[in-house]
Structure 1
Amino acid sequence: MLSINTILQPGDWIKGESWDGELIIGYIESLSPNTPEGLVKVTVVTSDNNETIGKTIPVLSKRVKRLPVSNVTNKVQIEFLIDLALSTGDKEWFKELSSELNVMKQLVNEME
């Protein structure tokens, strides 16, 4: 059986179910692989319970699934991700996405 560390890593985006059965989407803050349950601490970005949004909660690792990494292909997607980076306070991701957006704008300007 694979260790939790080979499947999930801090920073991975996940979807899953909380202890109370709420649907959550967020990212992993930390792992507790040495616990019998295999807990992960997830910062919730979206949930069907608005009170959970923005909080970091423990979730059983077997109740989460890592979301695939997506390739951003257009301006609207980058702008959405920039908003997400701002709402989660991820400065590095914000800088990376802003740089991508600027490159995209320069390419558009060169084409005109």
Structure 2
Amino acid sequence: MFNYGDWVYAVSNNTLVIGYIENISFSRDLIFITKVASYVKGHPVWQKPIRATCSMDSVSHMDVTLEKEDWDSLIDLAIFTGDKEWFHQLTERKLLDA
């Protein structure tokens, strides 16, 4: 089962991406994510967060627990990209995981 804010791997436009769930369709067949990285030649390439729609079948959980330094790096990325909403979401989530 997926929840809002979960970090996931997904396939978007035939490319493996990393993102977090923004919304789930009422019919639960589509997931709306914010992409923060795309895989190029097997390595993640960070990008300015953009929204994407993916089929439920193309999405899987990222089984990771973030360390304090990881949260700090993501927060820095949010600042770098100028994404205030993501910044606030990350700082709130960091406090919950601490």
TM-score (norm 2): 0.68
**Closer/same/farther in 2, CA of residues 33 and 48 from structure 1, 3 Å limit:** same
1:29 aligns with 2:22: yes
Higher strand share: 2
SS at match of 1:26: strand
In the alignment, the residues of structure 1 paired with residue 74 and residue 50 of structure 2 have an alpha-carbon distance, to the nearest angstrom, of 19
In the alignment, the residues of structure 2 paired with residue 78 and residue 27 of structure 1 have an alpha-carbon distance, to the nearest angstrom, of 14
Match of 1:12 in 2: 6
Larger radius of gyration: 1
Shift of 1:91: 0.8
- Within a 5 Å distance, the mapping from 1:95-110 to structure 2 comes to 97=94
Stretches of structure 1 lacking an aligned partner (at least 5 in a row): 1-6, 102-112
1:45 aligns with 2:36: yes
Percent identical pairs in the alignment equals 25
Q: Which portions of structure 1, spanning 4 or more consecutive aligned residues, are displaced by more than 3 angstroms?
A: 84-88, 95-98
Higher helix share: 1
Aligned mate of 1:68, from 63, 72, 79: 63
In the alignment, the residues of structure 1 paired with residue 4 and residue 94 of structure 2 have an alpha-carbon distance, to the nearest angstrom, of 20
Shift of 1:81: 3.0
8 Å contact kept, 1:85–1:91: no
SS at match of 1:91: helix
Match of 1:4 in 2: none
Match of 1:56 in 2: 51
